[in-house]
Structure 1
Amino acid sequence: MNLPKDYQSKMQEMLGEEYLQYLDSFHYSYGQTLRVNQLKMEPADFIRRFLLSGQVSWCNTGFYYEGEQKLSAHPYYYAGVYYLQEPSAMAPAAFLPVEPGDRVLDLCAAPGGKSTALAAKLQGEGILISNDISASRCKPLLKNMEMAGVSNAVITCESPEKLADRFFGYFDKVLVDAPCSGEGMFRREPSMVKSWSLEEVNRYAELQREILSHAAQMVKPGGYLLYSTCTFAKEEDEQTVEYFLEQNADFSLQELPICDGIEEGRPEWTVSGREDVKNCRRFLPYKVRGEGHFAALFKKREETDCLDKVFEKADRKQIVKEQTISKEKIPDAMEDFMRDIPEWKQWKKRLFFIKERAFLLPEHCPDLRGLRIVRSGLYLGDCLKKRFEPSQALAMALHLSGYKKSISFPAEDIRVEKYLRGETVDMDDSELSGWTLFCVDEFPLGWGKCNRGRLKNKYNPGWRKL
């Protein structure tokens, strides 16, 4: 690894005698890892089906697996049963104490690894707003959320400042996995080394502090804010935490778990020597089975009466109201199709139409008008004249028992492979007709239309296996 001289000097000064251990870490690998999606399957069931080599100690749904297994090509991957994720990157969502029913914001969400983990913790209850300021990065975010079967999320493409103007004190939990200099990813992605410089480190530190200031405004009293980076830079880690606490007296650092080589934050790397940064956690690649990472968990004080300015600012903010449900009549074709889904009676109360497209809004969804929305809740399908075409997202959010007209094949069946490649599939049951949910081992993959023993493939063309 051809590391910049300034970077080598900086790391040697920070790590001292451990610097050589850090350099040695570039020569070995921790293997490959995945995170089981609890919206689809429990970890105990997953363990019985795959050859795994250990659990990620800081994430109870994360596992190391043998490298010769091509799990990115397995049908379960396409069914959203698991997400391939670097182990240290699993920590932020695991550390944020999300519970079903919470209002959660993932402020820098793309490509979706942490958002899908947060959604699994919500278990379909409450609301998750996944935001990324980059429109291009929102595309993989949307795909990953749909593949995971998330039904209670809104995906936005906005600046933190604009979201703060709308959602002052609204969220129970906020995650800021901030853009950073990426030093902790040099081993995994050597191309990132080329863009590193001391100037970039300082630029990112300024950006992170700005993002955190907006994020803090959106946390309700008693709520939590998790800040993380994938860098070692003290300017972006302990010193950014230090700056945030100095600017936000109503927040305090919470202690995070220590396990399998995870280290405390370093007070000596702050400007003032703050002792409470020991509650932060550092992932060093020569001490953990993963890449470099940093995490800090803040809690907002229940009462903020010591900060009059907070109340003054709150008075000027727009009160967050619930989304107005569109009053369009449900087309007969959609009614005929959806009545086969047990939850349909409850879903009707949260339907929202944008022209011919039908969406299921999260319960108590906030007013989204004026924001750049990539996806409002679960996209159900299109109402086209006298027919209804269900969406790929709807298929992924269902279970085999969640739709009466379903068919399932074992993962080893060649028809599963043919389906994922977009081919027509021969069926055993010649009596099946019309829209059918195609599943692998009872996990939905998508839709097809059956007629006389053959299934016309309706799998999303952009998702097909090449």
Structure 2
Amino acid sequence: MTKPINFPAKFIERIEEDLPSDLSLAGFKAVCQQPMRRSIRVNTLKISLEAFLSLAKTNQWQLEPIPWCETGFWITREDESLSLGNTAEHQAGLFYIQEASSMLPVSALFHCFQAEEDCLLLDAASAPGSKTTQMAAMLQGKGAIVANEFSASRVKVLSANLLRCGVTNAAVTHFSAEIFGTWMSEQFDAILLDAPCSGEGTLRKDPQALDNWSEQHVYEISQLQSTLLESALQALKPNGVLIYSTCTLNQQENQQVISRIATQYPDSFSTINLEQLFEHSHKAITKEGYLHVWPQYYDSEGFFVAALRKNAATIDTPAINKRIKPFAYQTATKKQQASIAQHFKSQFGMTLPSDYSIFTKANDYWLLPNSFLRVKDEMRFERVGLKLAEEFKHGFRTSHDAITALGHLVAKNCIELEPEQAHHFYQGKDIVYPNNNKGEVALSYQGYVIGLGKWVRNKIKNSYPRELVKDKGLG
């Protein structure tokens, strides 16, 4: 049973002040007590929308389109004995479980921004990775994304989701987002700042979101948001697009944050009106052209989204003295590049993407997006690109991340698993498979590469990473 929401008196006062005239306080309270509709976003880095719809039909999943995201759907399943997160489709990265409203910021970004082949984007507060993976799916391998997360405990979750979804063009950083304005001034073509907030719009998912709510906390976090927005504008190139979003409802953390920066830096940016983003968006459009989504409007979480374009005038950025360790990856020699390319060609019939470069780190070979290379020495990066393989004395051991991210390029040495075999694979078990073969083999299920094995007499030795193994497999 859902825990009743404790609405603080001051919170209710502020909601009454901010509620649009077409909505009632009673309606707001009522919708906050209702459970969220489950929603997913198809990961088109791994599966086409058409193929996923066919797969969903086979699984008897009922999908209702989310109007602001072409690849987003509310989902209903008659059989929910297996959680969505444990389905084969989710483990293979074919979809991301994501609240419908949280798809709005990235949809707004690409509504206003035309991505070029060499573009560089920043997701300033990216964990757990829902919006970063959505950005990557929109880019389809073009450009590069710096995915930043301040919380150390969430960086690992972010990296895991990027890898599960087959994102190859991301560089992960672990800083407070306020440093980007000085450390990477005017480096980014587009920025998403989904700012930390008081979470007032998440009550349907988290009834305890207001347990620690106070006016003082709202004030303090709005000050942080202003600092982050200022830094993001400094890091943005002139004429670049910045999306400022929160999952909260009060104007102090939304409209007033933008107004404060506009006052501090007159004429530094202009607003891009989002009224044409999707059908019926006019319900949530503010007088400024922002989206202020109340949960009653679309039966969703509450959300705020603003699109800003930086004007040509540069925002003053204080000079700093950087002290950075040398970039941890080294450019591969021509011999090394030829060697790793030959490995993938001979083993799997694959040609590595041409708009990426090969780097090494100790005995590991990595694929780094060319669009990232111009900023590789600007700060410390936790992880960049895609690990391809580890080199040993007598050859290479292909990485799980590479074979799953580039699985669509596999042209040979791949076998399709039966349901029971896939179940054992996800349990980390070897697969009985009489053979006299040698070397590595790509493993697919339902037509999509899910990992690697190694031919051993009468079986396939499982190469699924231990940290991903699930005792229940597909159960």
| Contact kept? 1:155, 1:373, Cα under 8 Å | yes
Are residues 331 and 56 of structure 1, via their aligned partners in 2, closer, same or farther at CA, if it must alter by over 3 Å? closer
1:261, 1:359 → 2: CA distance? Answer: 43
Partner of 2:18: 14
| Aligned residue runs from structure 1 range 204-353, under 5 A | 204-248=221-265, 249-256=267-274, 257=277, 259-260=279-280, 263-266=283-286, 275=287, 277=288, 279-301=289-311, 303-304=312-313, 310=316, 313=317, 325-328=330-333, 330=336, 334=340, 337-340=343-346, 341-344=349-352, 346=354, 350-353=357-360
| Contact kept? 1:158, 1:371, Cα under 8 Å | no
Partner of 2:93: 80
1:433, 1:149 → 2: CA distance? Answer: 27
| Contact kept? 1:282, 1:293, Cα under 8 Å | yes
Q: Could you tell me which runs of 5 or more consecutive residues in structure 2 were left unpaired when the two chains were aligned.
A: none
Bigger shift: residues 337-346 or 29-38: 337-346
Are residues 404 and 247 of structure 1, via their aligned partners in 2, closer, same or farther at CA, if it must alter by over 3 Å? farther
| Contact kept? 1:360, 1:377, Cα under 8 Å | yes
Are residues 124 and 317 of structure 1, via their aligned partners in 2, closer, same or farther at CA, if it must alter by over 3 Å? farther
Instruction: Give the TM-score normalised by structure 1.
Output: 0.88
- Displacement of 1:100: 5.2
Partner of 1:380: 388
Give SS of 2:55's match.
coil
| Contact kept? 1:110, 1:141, Cα under 8 Å | yes
Cα shift readout 1:75-134 (whole Å, capped 9, x = no counterpart): 111111100000000111111025352211101001100000000111101111111112
Are residues 57 and 30 of structure 1, via their aligned partners in 2, closer, same or farther at CA, if it must alter by over 3 Å? farther
Partner of 1:35: 41
Partner of 1:272: none
Bigger shift: residues 35-44 or 401-410: 401-410
| Contact kept? 1:96, 1:226, Cα under 8 Å | yes
From 128, 136, 140, the counterpart of 2:145: 128
| Contact kept? 2:181, 2:230, Cα under 8 Å | no
Are residues 345 and 116 of structure 1, via their aligned partners in 2, closer, same or farther at CA, if it must alter by over 3 Å? closer
| Contact kept? 1:79, 1:445, Cα under 8 Å | yes
- Displacement of 1:177: 0.4
Are residues 404 and 72 of structure 1, via their aligned partners in 2, closer, same or farther at CA, if it must alter by over 3 Å? same
1:132, 1:315 → 2: CA distance? Answer: 24
From 408, 416, 419, the counterpart of 1:408: 416
Partner of 1:139: 156
Are residues 315 and 183 of structure 1, via their aligned partners in 2, closer, same or farther at CA, if it must alter by over 3 Å? closer
Are residues 450 and 129 of structure 1, via their aligned partners in 2, closer, same or farther at CA, if it must alter by over 3 Å? same
Aligned pair 1:114/2:131, yes or no?
yes
Aligned pair 1:4/2:8, yes or no?
yes
Cα shift readout 1:191-214 (whole Å, capped 9, x = no counterpart): 322221111111110011100111
Give SS of 2:191's match.
strand
| Contact kept? 2:284, 2:293, Cα under 8 Å | no
- Displacement of 1:149: 0.6
- Displacement of 1:165: 2.6
Pairwise CA RMSD: 2.6
Partner of 1:26: 32
Are residues 391 and 352 of structure 1, via their aligned partners in 2, closer, same or farther at CA, if it must alter by over 3 Å? same
Give SS of 1:192's match.
coil
Bigger shift: residues 80-89 or 449-458: 449-458
1:163, 1:176 → 2: CA distance? Answer: 12
Are residues 138 and 164 of structure 1, via their aligned partners in 2, closer, same or farther at CA, if it must alter by over 3 Å? same
Instruction: Give the TM-score normalised by structure 2.
Output: 0.86
Give SS of 1:213's match.
helix
Give SS of 1:235's match.
helix
Give SS of 1:222's match.
strand
Are residues 327 and 63 of structure 1, via their aligned partners in 2, closer, same or farther at CA, if it must alter by over 3 Å? closer
1:27, 1:315 → 2: CA distance? Answer: 50
2:398, 2:298 → 1: CA distance? Answer: 45
Partner of 2:363: 356
- Displacement of 1:422: 0.7
Cα shift readout 1:266-306 (whole Å, capped 9, x = no counterpart): 4xxxxxxxx4x2x10011111213111100000122x32xx
1:346, 1:13 → 2: CA distance? Answer: 55
Q: Could you tell me which runs of 5 or more consecutive residues in structure 1 were left unpaired when the two chains were aligned.
A: 267-274
2:467, 2:68 → 1: CA distance? Answer: 34
- Displacement of 1:136: 1.5
| Contact kept? 2:284, 2:297, Cα under 8 Å | no
| Contact kept? 2:183, 2:379, Cα under 8 Å | no
Task: State the one-letter code of the partner of 1:295.
Answer: V
- Displacement of 1:317: 9.5
| Contact kept? 1:238, 1:265, Cα under 8 Å | no
Q: Percent identity?
A: 28
Cα shift readout 1:113-163 (whole Å, capped 9, x = no counterpart): 000000011110111111111221110100100111111111111232433
| Contact kept? 1:158, 1:372, Cα under 8 Å | no
Are residues 188 and 79 of structure 1, via their aligned partners in 2, closer, same or farther at CA, if it must alter by over 3 Å? same
| Contact kept? 1:285, 1:291, Cα under 8 Å | yes
Aligned pair 1:48/2:54, yes or no?
yes
- Displacement of 1:28: 2.6
What is the aligned residue count?
A: 443
